[in-house]
Structure 1
Amino acid sequence: MSTPTRVYIARLAGVAVFDPNGDQVGRVRDAVARLRTTNRPPEVVGLVAEMPMRRRIFLSINRVTSLDAEAVVLGTGTLNLRRFEKRPNELLVLQELLDRRVHLDPNGQAGTVVDVAMECRGREWSLSRVAVREQTGRLSRRGHLHQVEWDKVRGLTGFADTRGTANLLAVLEDMRPADLANALQDLPDLRRNEVAAALDDERLADVLSELPEHDQVEILTALGRERAADVLEEMDPDDAADLLNELPAPEQDVLLDLMEPDEADPVRQLLKYTPGTAGSVMTSEPVILPPDATVAEALARIREPQLSPAVAAQVFVSRAPMTTPTGRYLGMVHFQRLLREPPADLLGGIVLNDIDPLRETTPLPEITRRMATYDLVAMPVVDRNNRLVGAVTVDDVLDHSLPRDWRDRDAPAEPLAQPQPDLTAGAAAGEAGTTAVGGTTGEDRTTGGAHG
């Protein structure tokens, strides 16, 4: 292998995985080690890689030809595209060992695992060294970092007490919210709740929006009401309303009362709408400007980084007030039109109003049909007085059109007979659930007793 003989696994997290043709397969999320019945350190049998569409697969270590903190390169063989499932005698190194509280031999010094190295000896990879930071008992000073052999650390296997989250969070910090939500679903419930609670309010709000409803409820409940209300304030009103809809009415009222009034009011309003209508799926905070605003002002507004692409794709124009429900709705201007007009021109001169807005009671199938007909990524929603009350975006439509459990990692997998993604340019598809890499058949983890 053209690779170092010792690699610290936390440094591999998020590293891109490439096939022999140089095409990216996915990104490393963890390493899989097999526990032994002897005193020998666990054998590293492969990596867990996350592919597009948030599927995690197993990559046999025997397929890896190059491995370092810059990239992981696979050799020829067949990739098993079935979703990775950990076996009883296996250990997910980053998920289960980072932040674990252990003791160092021979003096029993307490410490916390911050990384684990795997080492290649001959043709076998095994966990060899552990980076452990001493626990000093002082908040003002970090303990010394020790790198010690695996067998000199006690407490690496077996039941782990409640532990910290700093090192696991450091591994996960660069993930997109959807990918982090996917990673949380792989964790045991207690560990998942610990990691979620350690996120700041804004980051946790983004992640909750990407989780299945039952996971959202469990995490929110574990936070405690005061913290839960803080997180709900950071969520988009429509996402907060969707989450609160999963809770009993008395609990909804308690959390809404704990929220700041200006954050709770739009959520309360959304909760009043009938499920499956425009009112229930819309965002109540689209980009709204008056007709005397300039093109330059509109462009500055949609550049704001907290806006999602769907919300920032158009500006809605109405009379004052500018918060929903607004004054009389006048029309909308797509961002492409803004880019073509002089910066000093007024929105009132370029606004489009030739598409009828949605009503609060418009059902989801009608919304979908109209957005598809006019190739729109968002549509305005008005009340009976023609006041703008919100906008339905394409991501709202998708979220409520897909099966309820589409975000759930435990949902039934798609049939194996369906076409599998091709991981190589021009590679022929292999047997169901596998894809050729370089054209040579390799071992299938699910059909034999050994990995790879």
Structure 2
Amino acid sequence: MSATRVFVARLAGCTVFDPAGDRVGKVRDVLVVYRKNDPPLVVGLIVEIPGKRRVFVSIGRVTSIGSGQIITTGLINVRRFEQRGGEVRVIAEMLGRTVVFNDGSGEATIEDVSIEDLPQGGWAISQLFVRRPKTSLSLFAKGATTFTDWGEVREQTTEGQAQSAEQLIATYSDLKPADLANTLLDLPPERMHEVAGELPDGRLADALEEMPESEQVSILTRLGDARAADVLDHMQPDDAADLIAQLPEELGEQLLDLMEPEEADDVRFLLTYAPDTAGGLMTTEPIIVSADATVAEGLALIRRHDLAPALGAAICVTLPPYEPPTGRFLGMVHFQRMLRYPPHERLGTLLDQGLDPVTADTSAAEVTRILASYDLVSVPVVDENHRLVGVVTIDDVLDYLLPDDWRSHDGNDDVRRRAEARTELTTGSIPLHHGRRTGNGPS
């Protein structure tokens, strides 16, 4: 193995290769065990392989660490990683901890950890990169940073003291919502709740949308009502409705009362529909414009960075008002069609005349059949007065078709279940109940 010293935070996301140069996965953490008189010993890496499964790769299987990549012997046990007693994850559990200097000079917070290979073989923690408390009252001031050897400090283990998750959150800053959700779910429960509690509202909302119901409820109920309502405000209305439907009725109403009125109204509206209908699947935040809007204006709306890709595939055209329930629904204009016309062209002249909307009580099976039959990404939903109330997107249907525990299956099972979902999309045949919402509306 090549002699080197590396900092663990820089390993997060590094690609792992086998000796032939084929990609194995990505590093998600480093696992260590504490020793009585010596620095913690590295026992292996936690690697995410295709299928989002986390596996353990023994440090003895690693032949090279450096240049942003890891080389292994190619022999990897693909059994799902389970943390054992005495093992500590450096990124998930050690970063952010408080340490006290043995010389009495105060305390600091661990921001990174370096590991190096030992002369006798194996790897161990060598140095810590720590930050001392700030000495200025300025909001922009930061404490001084320094490197220190493991033996020069001891960890602060005051009972009941929560370790800061700030550095861990910074390490996760570039993860996509689905990857952030998987990473949080992979943490020990208490650490997961601690990190979730310190994530920004919008970031936590994105992660919750990607989690199974039980973990959503567990995290939300630990936040406190005011914070929970703020997070729900940042979620897509349909996802927020799904989550609130899993809560006790009294708590759900309490959180709705604390939410922003406009957001709460959308959620209450969605909760009136049964889970196996278009109304139960739809989102109430499509792009809606007038018939006089131009191609240039439509494309500008699609470019919004916070817009879900499925919602950006088409624009809804209605009479005023332009918030659901809108004025009379006129039609949809697909993104690709807009690209074929000059910027000044009116969207009212580009409507898809062959696409009929569905009603809010249309069954999920029929919505599935329409999306599959016509290769659509979304389908509009109208009420009895032909007013637009929302759209059902392909991801809404997949969320409905896939079982609640699909994230917990291994890669091969995920492939099988996606194939089953694809068959269901094509045939229009769906299970009796895979929906997440327990809506109190008509069935």
User: Scaled by the length of structure 1, what TM-score is found?
Assistant: 0.85
Give the deviation of 1:316 after TM superposition. 1.4
Which residue matches 2:116? Answer: 119
d(CA) in 2 for partners of 1:209 and 1:261?
21
d(CA) in 2 for partners of 1:158 and 1:261?
42
Which residue matches 2:309? Answer: 309
Which residue matches 1:73? Answer: 70
Identify unmatched segments of 5+ residues in structure 1. 420-452
Secondary structure of the residue that 1:168 maps to in structure 2? Answer: helix
Give the deviation of 1:9 after TM superposition. 0.9
Alpha-carbon displacement from aligned partner over 1:120-172 (angstroms, at most 9, x marks no partner)? 12222111222232335765454433322223322278977311111111111
> Does 2:87 match 1:83?
no
Give the deviation of 1:379 after TM superposition. 0.5
Give the deviation of 1:285 after TM superposition. 0.9
Secondary structure of the residue that 2:13 maps to in structure 1? Answer: coil
d(CA) in 2 for partners of 1:158 and 1:93?
19
Give the deviation of 1:202 after TM superposition. 1.4
Which residue matches 2:147? Answer: 147
| Letter of the structure 1 residue corresponding to residue 54 of structure 2 | R
| Letter of the structure 1 residue corresponding to residue 70 of structure 2 | V
Give the deviation of 1:232 after TM superposition. 1.1
Which residue matches 1:441? Answer: none
| Letter of the structure 1 residue corresponding to residue 79 of structure 2 | R
Which residue matches 2:371? Answer: 371
Q: Conserved in 2, the CA contact under 8 Å of 1:318 and 1:329?
A: yes
d(CA) in 1 for partners of 2:18 and 2:316?
46
Give the deviation of 1:317 after TM superposition. 1.5
Give the deviation of 1:108 after TM superposition. 6.6
d(CA) in 1 for partners of 2:28 and 2:156?
20
Distance 1:351 1:94, change over 3 A: same
| Letter of the structure 1 residue corresponding to residue 28 of structure 2 | R
> Does 2:5 match 1:6?
yes
Give the deviation of 1:240 after TM superposition. 0.9
Alpha-carbon displacement from aligned partner over 1:8-50 (angstroms, at most 9, x marks no partner)? 11121122223334443322111012334x4222221221122
Which residue matches 1:444? Answer: none
User: Scaled by the length of structure 2, what TM-score is found?
Assistant: 0.87
Which residue matches 1:61? Answer: 59
Give the deviation of 1:376 after TM superposition. 0.6
Distance 1:7 1:351, change over 3 A: same
Q: Conserved in 1, the CA contact under 8 Å of 2:53 and 2:410?
A: no
Alpha-carbon displacement from aligned partner over 1:84-124 (angstroms, at most 9, x marks no partner)? 11122322111121111222213273222111111112222
d(CA) in 1 for partners of 2:79 and 2:91?
21
Map 1:23-38; keep pairs closer than 5 Å: 23-36=22-35, 38=36
Higher relative contact order (CA 8 A, sep 6+): 1
Secondary structure of the residue that 2:162 maps to in structure 1? Answer: coil
> Does 2:331 match 1:331?
yes
Q: Conserved in 2, the CA contact under 8 Å of 1:57 and 1:82?
A: yes
Identify unmatched segments of 5+ residues in structure 2. 417-443
| Letter of the structure 1 residue corresponding to residue 163 of structure 2 | R
Distance 1:119 1:310, change over 3 A: same
d(CA) in 2 for partners of 1:159 and 1:42?
22
Distance 1:214 1:253, change over 3 A: same
d(CA) in 1 for partners of 2:200 and 2:266?
23
Identity of aligned residues (%): 51
Give the deviation of 1:365 after TM superposition. 1.8
d(CA) in 1 for partners of 2:223 and 2:53?
28
| Letter of the structure 2 residue corresponding to residue 368 of structure 1 | T
